[in-house]
């Protein structure tokens, strides 16, 4: 390991460990625009976006952040050109196969959240294998939101709870936030403390609508493939300047 790699493992001196977010969520926006600016096909932006996500995951692990959730593919992304969607599905499977051994070595637990039954059967098998293989890893939880939509997630939770009520397994007056959260795709994960959106867009885009109720939001003009450790450092610095009151004075 080089001196530079060793230095990167340590938390920057201006960041306070006790004020780090436990869970960071990212809307990885701008791959296509990054490629267009360089006269490249959109798929090259997606390839570079994968590298940016791998670097962010390693940074979170090195700096002691316990969970990272990335918005990889939304329920609306099926409307993109067919060849781009096919490339993304192939890319997801290839990256899983290539990175699984390293995730095991680095103690990364990977989870996919979303309506996974709509994905290609081969990719579903890759996902199931990766999640099962890493389920006992504990250093960092890496959630990949794939075919994910916040409204659909809430609807499916409501349907699941309604089914339990109909079967007499649950009384309506027993339904509280804890029960509702157990029926979400993200069951078992703490809510994000920090939500980062790249490319300067000022919207949530149907992402984690329930879970980000009290998340701090950080917007950067940086396109996702250019989001590196320095950009993440700036995001964390801004986060640590916020006073999180959760509705209190």
**Which residue out of 29, 31, 147, 193 is catalytically annotated?**
29
- In the set 55, 62, 77, 137, the catalytic residue is 77
Is residue 136 among the annotated active site residues?
Answer: no
Q: Residue 173 catalytic?
A: no
Q: Which residues, 6+ apart, have CB-to-CB distance to 174 below 8 Å?
A: none
Which residues have a catalytic role annotated? Answer: 29, 77
């Amino acid at each position: 390991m080089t001196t530079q790699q060793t230095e990167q493992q340590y938390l920057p001196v201006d960041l306070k460990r006790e004020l780090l977010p436990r869970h960071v969520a990212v809307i990885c926006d701008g791959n296509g625009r990054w490629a267009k600016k360089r006269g490249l096909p959109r798929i090259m932006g997606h390839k570079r976006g994968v590298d940016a996500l791998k670097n962010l995951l390693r940074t979170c692990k090195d700096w002691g952040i316990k969970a990272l959730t990335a918005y990889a593919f939304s329920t609306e992304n099926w409307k993109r050109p067919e060849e781009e969607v096919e490339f993304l599905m192939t890319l997801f499977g290839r990256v899983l196969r290539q990175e699984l051994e390293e995730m095991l070595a680095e103690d990364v637990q990977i989870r996919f959240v979303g309506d996974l039954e709509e994905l290609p059967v081969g990719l579903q098998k890759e996902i199931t294998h990766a999640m099962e293989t890493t389920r006992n890893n504990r250093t960092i939880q890496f959630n990949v939101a794939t075919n994910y939509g916040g409204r659909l997630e809430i609807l499916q939770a409501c349907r699941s709870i309604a089914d339990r009520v109909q079967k007499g397994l649950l009384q309506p007056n027993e339904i509280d936030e804890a029960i509702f959260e157990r029926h979400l795709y993200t069951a078992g994960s703490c809510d994000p403390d920090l939500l980062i959106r790249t490319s300067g867009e000022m919207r949530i885009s149907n992402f984690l609508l329930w879970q980000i109720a009290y998340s701090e939001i950080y917007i950067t003009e940086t396109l996702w493939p250019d989001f590196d450790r320095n950009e993440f450092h700036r995001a964390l610095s801004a986060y640590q300047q916020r006073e999180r009151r959760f509705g209190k004075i």
